[in-house]
Amino acid sequence: MNLKLPGWSLAAGSAFSFAVLLHAAPAARGVQVDITGPADGSRHAWNSQLSYAVTATYDGKSTKFDELPANDVVLRAAYVANVDAPSAHGASALPDAIVQISQSNCTGCHDFNASSAGPSFAAIGKRYSGDANSVAMLAAHIRNGSTGAWGGGTMPPHPDISPTHASAIAQWIVAHGNDPAVHYSVGKSGSLRMTAVGKPGPDSGVVLSAFYTGPLKAGDSRAAAGRTMVVIRGS
Amino acid sequence: MERRTFLKTVAAGIGASLVGTAAEAQKPHTAKAKRVIVAGAGITGLCCAYELMQHGIDATVLEASGRYGGHVFTGHDGLSDGLWADYGADHLTKPGYEQFFRYVEAFGLEAVPYPNAEGSPLPANNGQLTQIGGKFYTDAMLAEPATLKALGLNPKEVTFLSERRWYELPALYLGDYLARFHDSSQPFGSGFDELDAIDLDTLYAKQGASKRARDYLGGQHVNALYGLWRFAVMKDRGIPLSEGETFHLKGGNEEMPKAFAARLGARVRLNHPIAAIQHDASGVTVTYTAFGYDEPQTMRADYLVNCISLPLFRRIALTPALSPAKQYVVDNVAYSSHPFFIFEAESKFWLDDGFTNLAMSFEHADISMAWAVPEAPASTRVIIKAFGPSGLSPQRVLAAFREVYPGKRDTIVQALTYDWSKDSFAPTCEMEPFAPGTLRRFWPEIMKPDGRLYFAGTYADALSRGMESCVRSAARVAKEIADA
């Protein structure tokens, strides 16, 4: 763990500072993320639902005590045909679009895969898949709002989302929003579904990866210590 | 449940309630007393638990957040003189809120007239102003044939609107259909099933409605059969096209959740979020956590009533998963959600500008409507509510108001809002109309239980219409469980 504690060496010899150091050790500055459920290696039936729970700590603050808001946590559930294949365990980074989605109020109205106050990202991705102009159009809708683009609802403007971030979100929705193999959840707890793509084999399963998506101090990395990945086998 | 029994129960509607009776004391306990867990302490969950209690059934309400009431929320912060504002559920109507008014009476609450709520029509020429093409029109102007013609309405519409109010316009195009809609207990079977395929706007267009009329009527993306059925249910319940006279509760609409909660006492458990539900033929087991504790606890009951809005209910893991038909409903009911912007003014400034009322609709992108809330007896200050897009700051909406308000000056000294899109527990308001081509997948599945799991909420009534559909569905489900 990379502890950046300038000045500690000056007082490291005193019993007082040693005690403080011991006490301070868990409040490390780096990102720590732990999937506390479901259990790694557990088996769950295809099409069943299961609860998940994640804790995140960063800069001495924890989701446990709401010092970090629940939407600073994102869980990714990726279907893999063979959970034992090394590629299934490769830690791929979280797309920046998902970080932006979790940090804005997007999920107050949009779910990833089902209807809410707005259409799901999957439904938007499906409608605009292959439409070259759609990214710019959706990015404009995110920034400026829209009416009547989808049902009778109104998309409010989001001047707080920069044009670059709006474009990244739109790009992700069109390219990956409707990916049947990958599902995202924002929040430190919730449910997920054991969804297979096609007919699952005996070694097929779902790989869960948890991420901290909150603000970072200059120089810090999103790369987290802890049980950030859990493999579930389908049955 | 047998379809026939089910529809009969639905049709029984408000008769299902035991409000105001001493049924709890009178009803003999059966050999095995039923236990019910109610998920969610919004107005639906609280009402359902209260109704179950009236049936002599033991109910526990598990609520994920630290307050009850959900989207029925009366705020006081930031306002002077003890003034308040309803940031969620805004008003009640007469007729149309029969079940709700039974509770008002039973609990000794007071409903206060609240004309022009959310832009509801006022009596003709009572000061309502509508901005069209930058110009403000009075009701009298909007009934002049020359004005109507200039707005692009067709001759039939001009004749109609010179004699009738604008809100009656659906009658011009749907009157014949409604006269033939013979069974409003369900959308299908009255001879209009084919309307499931199109939207209401297309139906108006087919009958020659002008563009201006269609813009006013709305109906794009609204399932035409669903839209027609809504009008049929309203007609059967005696609700006029004006939607009736409008009221709110003295002290704010949250007085109703408070009244239910007071009677439920310790049965309501706040900050007790549900993580998982297991259900089988004999009952349900709910896994939840108590406030501030990580260790999950379980509770067993004979039934569970889900009174959580469906987008949040989806966050709870169900074992076994719902039937595909029910899962479709849970995944596809669409909701509306919008904020109110609240202005506090030092006086009724519009009177100085010669307006009898502040009841105005605007064309500005940041504000579409503003109306005055009836004054509180203890204050000379007034509350104004406005519609604007969510995510906007109240100051921006106030700036828009000042741009479009047709008078000289205002005395507004405070601007507030509550951003529901950032609320983790009650982000959604009412159900959106069903999309064309989907009604068969929703109805009647949307009203049905899935095994021991029952569903109540604004979507689970034949007429999704504010708090009334919440309490009607709650009372219906309580009775279904009592009868099961």
Min Cα separation B466/chain A (Å): 16
pLDDT tens digits along A197-219:
999 999 999 999 999 999 999 99
Min Cα separation A132/chain B (Å): 25
CA B197, CA B435: separation in Å to the nearest integer? 9
Min Cα separation B40/chain A (Å): 16
Residue-range definition of the domain harbouring residue B199:
141-242
Which CATH number is A207's domain given?
1.10.760.10
Same-domain pairing of B235 and B158: yes
The distance between the two most distant Cα atoms of chain B, rounded to a whole number of Å, is 73
Q: Determine whether the interchain pair A157/B389 forms a contact, defined as Cβ–Cβ distance below 8 Å.
A: yes
Same-domain pairing of B327 and B461: yes
Alpha helices in B80-137, H assignment, sequence order: 98-106
Query: How far does Cα B296 stand from its chain's mean position?
Result: 34
Q: Determine whether the interchain pair A51/B220 forms a contact, defined as Cβ–Cβ distance below 8 Å.
A: no
Q: Which residues of B touch A232 (CB under 8 A)?
A: none
Is B132 part of a structural domain of the chain? no
Is A103 part of a structural domain of the chain? yes
| Count of C-beta atoms within a 10 Å radius of residue B291 | 10
Same-domain pairing of B324 and B436: yes
Sequential DSSP letters for chain A: -----TTHHHHTTSHHHHHHHHHHTTS-SS-EEEEEESPTT-EE-TT-EEEEEEEEEETTEETTTTSS-GGGEEEEEEEES-TTSGGGG--PPPPHHHHHHHHSSHHHH--SSS-SSS--HHHHHHHHTT-TTHHHHHHHHHHH-EESSSTT-EEPP-TTS-HHHHHHHHHHHHHHTT-TTEEEEESSEEEEE---SSS--TT-EEEEEEEE-S---TT--S--BSS-EEEEEE-
Q: Which residues of B touch A111 (CB under 8 A)?
A: 311, 314
Same-domain pairing of B459 and B326: yes
pLDDT tens digits along B250-265:
999 999 999 999 999 9
pLDDT at B366: 92
Q: Which of B276, B392, B428 sits opposite A117 (nearest CB)?
A: B428
Same-domain pairing of B159 and B223: yes
Q: Which of A49, A111, A185 sits opposite B321 (nearest CB)?
A: A49
Is A17 part of a structural domain of the chain? no
Q: Which residues of B touch A64 (CB under 8 A)?
A: 294
Q: Determine whether the interchain pair B275/A113 forms a contact, defined as Cβ–Cβ distance below 8 Å.
A: no
Are B67 and B268 contacting, i.e. CB atoms less than 8 angstroms apart?
no
Is B135 part of a structural domain of the chain? no
Last residue of a domain, one of B372, B389, B422: B422
Distances from the Cα of A112 to the Cα of A75, A142, A179, B121, B272, angstroms:
12, 16, 10, 39, 25
Is A65 part of a structural domain of the chain? yes
CA B314, CA B138: separation in Å to the nearest integer? 47
Structural domain count, chain B: 3
The model's pTM is 0.90
Q: Determine whether the interchain pair A49/B319 forms a contact, defined as Cβ–Cβ distance below 8 Å.
A: yes
pLDDT at A4: 39
Q: Is A42 on the interface with B (CB under 8 A)?
A: no
Selected residue of B335, B423, B459 to mutate for chain A interface (largest A Cβ count, 10 A): B335
Selected residue of B331, B338, B395, B421 to mutate for chain A interface (largest A Cβ count, 10 A): B421
Q: Determine whether the interchain pair B315/A152 forms a contact, defined as Cβ–Cβ distance below 8 Å.
A: no
Same-domain pairing of B149 and B219: yes
Sequential DSSP letters for B63-79: -SSSSSBTT--EE-TT-
Q: Is A49 on the interface with B (CB under 8 A)?
A: yes
- By C-alpha distance, which of B333, B2, B13, B1 is closest to B184? B13
Residue-range definition of the domain harbouring residue A136:
32-234
Is A20 part of a structural domain of the chain? no
Q: Which of A49, A109, A117 sits opposite B318 (nearest CB)?
A: A49
Q: Determine whether the interchain pair B311/A117 forms a contact, defined as Cβ–Cβ distance below 8 Å.
A: yes
CA B67, CA B41: separation in Å to the nearest integer? 8
Length of chain B: 484
Min Cα separation B234/chain A (Å): 21
Which CATH number is B8's domain given?
3.50.50.60
Q: Determine whether the interchain pair A189/B315 forms a contact, defined as Cβ–Cβ distance below 8 Å.
A: yes
pLDDT tens digits along A6-41:
333 333 334 444 444 444 444 456 999 999 999 999
**Up-side HSE of residue A102: CA atoms within 13 Å toward CB?**
26
Same-domain pairing of B377 and B319: no
Min Cα separation A104/chain B (Å): 9
Q: Determine whether the interchain pair B433/A152 forms a contact, defined as Cβ–Cβ distance below 8 Å.
A: yes
Between A and B, how many CB-CB pairs are < 8 A?
A: 105
Is A220 part of a structural domain of the chain? yes
- pLDDT < 50 regions, chain B: 1-15, 22-26
ipTM of the complex: 0.82
Q: Determine whether the interchain pair A53/B275 forms a contact, defined as Cβ–Cβ distance below 8 Å.
A: yes
Q: Is A196 on the interface with B (CB under 8 A)?
A: no
Same-domain pairing of B151 and B234: yes
Same-domain pairing of B163 and B205: yes
- By C-alpha distance, which of A185, A204, A190, A231 is closest to A47? A204
Same-domain pairing of B198 and B159: yes
Same-domain pairing of B464 and B445: yes
Is B247 part of a structural domain of the chain? no
Q: Which residues of A touch B315 (CB under 8 A)?
A: 185, 187, 189-191
Is B216 part of a structural domain of the chain? yes
| Pairing mode of beta strands B317-319, B274-280 | parallel
Q: Which residues of B touch A183 (CB under 8 A)?
A: none
Q: Determine whether the interchain pair A187/B222 forms a contact, defined as Cβ–Cβ distance below 8 Å.
A: no
Min Cα separation A121/chain B (Å): 13
Q: What own/partner pairs with CB < 8 Å and gap ≥ 24 does A58-64 have? A: A58/A29, A58/A30, A58/A31, A58/A32, A58/A212, A58/A214, A58/A216, A59/A29, A59/A217, A60/A27, A60/A28, A60/A29, A63/A188, A64/B294
CA A143, CA B374: separation in Å to the nearest integer? 36
Same-domain pairing of B236 and B153: yes
Alpha helices in B353-438, H assignment, sequence order: 394-404
- pLDDT < 50 regions, chain A: 1-27
Are A43 and A52 contacting, i.e. CB atoms less than 8 angstroms apart?
no
Q: Determine whether the interchain pair B320/A70 forms a contact, defined as Cβ–Cβ distance below 8 Å.
A: no
| Count of C-beta atoms within a 10 Å radius of residue A208 | 25
Selected residue of A34, A43, A46, A51 to mutate for chain B interface (largest B Cβ count, 10 A): A51
Measure CA of the first residue to CA of the last residue in chain A; give whole Å: 37
CA B199, CA B435: separation in Å to the nearest integer? 8
pLDDT at B376: 78
Q: Chain B residues within 8 A (CB-CB) of chain A?
A: 218, 220-222, 273, 275-276, 287, 294, 311, 314-321, 330-338, 365, 389-392, 419-424, 427-429, 432-433, 435
Is A64 part of a structural domain of the chain? yes
Q: Which residues of A touch B391 (CB under 8 A)?
A: 105, 156-158, 160
Compute and round to an integer the Cα radius of gyration of chain B. 23
Compute and round to an integer the Cα radius of gyration of chain A. 20
Question: In the structure encoding, which two tokens stand for residue B45, read together?
Answer: 């969950």
Are B140 and B125 contacting, i.e. CB atoms less than 8 angstroms apart?
yes
Q: Which residue of A has its CA nearest to B321?
A: A48
Is A24 part of a structural domain of the chain? no
Structural domain count, chain A: 1
Question: CA angle at residue B437 from B435 to B443, to 5 degrees?
Answer: 80
Q: Which residues of B touch A116 (CB under 8 A)?
A: 311, 334-335, 427-428
CA-CA-CA-CA torsion sign (B182, B184, B190, B192): positive
Are B264 and B46 contacting, i.e. CB atoms less than 8 angstroms apart?
yes
Are B75 and B416 contacting, i.e. CB atoms less than 8 angstroms apart?
yes
Question: In the structure encoding, which two tokens stand for residue B379, read together?
Answer: 């204050």
Q: Which residues of A touch B427 (CB under 8 A)?
A: 108-109, 116-117
